[in-house]
Amino acid sequence: MISFRWTTLAAIASMFLHFAPTSSAAVNTTCTISASHNITTSPKFLVYSDADSSGSWPPPVSAISGFNVFAISFLMVSGAEDKAQQWASMSSSQRSTIKAQYAAAGIKLIVSAFGSEDAPTTNGANPITTANTMAQWVKDHDLDGIDVDYEDFNSLDGGSGKAEAWIISFTTQLRTLLPQGQYIITHAPVAPWFSPNIWGGGGYLKVHSVVGNLIDWYNIQFYNQGSKEYVTCSGLLAQSSSTFPQSALFQIAANGVPLSKLVVGKPATSTAASDGFIAPAALAGCLKTAVNGGWTGGVSVWEFPGAASAWISTVRNGSFPLQ
């Protein structure tokens, strides 16, 4: 672990000194992704959908070309809200038709659970009962899996360990009901929750140590954590600030989370989150640097329609270019 940390971070730091995204002399380590690849072992390109948008919804595959996961938001403890409710209101035949179209384009359909307005641990929700209900909802509504967007800050930041225990129990039960290889289970923690020695219950390093094998990947929220956090390539990839130490991409990997499971989450526009925005072309340069360092996780973005085919095409340029 120590060897990985220092050799990898040293290599990334060196890349920042020499990296020039427009230089023809840059090392070409791009890779292309086929729709037929296994989503859990290939780079992931996930877009959330919660906001209202013009035109038909879910959008036609042409509108989100370049993504391979579409996350419908939100399924809450109280039931489906927003786009999840809209999905549930469709007839089974409508959902089947859309699912077939997305599948043909290599796009998985999942639901995102909880979000910033749901606090399951603080509000006393039972993790097993909640997992049972949500897993059944996924099955009943023709979906490929679930994204656990747990944002109960009062509980996890409180440091008692109740949040971590809740997440672990919930995830374990989810996976029992949604078997690996048949269904996707992802988590979307904020990046600071991977900082070591800050959270009383261990934060997401604790969660990963217990149930990381049950989680397909992490859509890490590198945003909404402060105006100076994760807004440069160095701060995003190599070294986070002292406020949330060791929570940059390669630092999280150095602390034991596989690089292949680390998906970089960013807001689509400067108004989609309170902070953390990096312009698409600049983000593309950051990701190229990450790929040069051995990262293959992918990108998640909040949200459609601010992020659509043009956005992801720009972001993937230089690292995972569209075929």
- Judging by DSSP bridges, how do beta strands 79-80 and 69-76 pair with one another? antiparallel
Average pLDDT over residues 233-259: 98
Give residue 54's pLDDT: 87
Q: Express as a percent the part of the chain with pLDDT over 70.
A: 89
Average pLDDT over residues 79-93: 97
Contacts of 21 (CB under 8 A, 6+ apart): 284, 285, 288, 318
pLDDT at 10 exceeding the cut of 60: no
Residues 162-191: tens digit of each pLDDT: 999 999 999 999 999 999 999 999 999 999
Average pLDDT over residues 156-160: 97
- Is 252 within 8 Å of 220 (Cβ atoms)? yes
**Separate counts of helices (H) and strands (E) for the chain:** 11, 9
pLDDT at 16 exceeding the cut of 80: no
Question: What Cα–Cα distance (Å) separates residue 228 from each residue in 162, 269, 271, 276, 286?
Answer: 30, 16, 16, 8, 16
Listed residue (80, 219, 203) closest to 149, CA to CA = 219
pTM of the model: 0.90
Give residue 20's pLDDT: 35
Segment among 15-19, 68-72, 116-120 with least mean pLDDT: 15-19
Give residue 141's pLDDT: 98
Mean pLDDT of the chain: 90
- Judging by DSSP bridges, how do beta strands 108-115 and 217-221 pair with one another? unpaired
pLDDT at 36 exceeding the cut of 80: no
Residues 139-157: tens digit of each pLDDT: 999 999 999 999 999 999 9
Listed residue (184, 186, 187, 221) closest to 302, CA to CA = 221
Give residue 40's pLDDT: 85
Using 50, 70 and 90 to split pLDDT, how confident is the model at 2? very low
Instruction: Provide the token pair at 322.
Output: 């569209």
Higher pLDDT: 58 or 25? It is 58
* C-alpha–C-alpha distance, residues 212 and 207, integer Å: 7
Using 50, 70 and 90 to split pLDDT, how confident is the model at 68? very high
Q: Express as a percent the part of the chain with pLDDT over 90.
A: 85
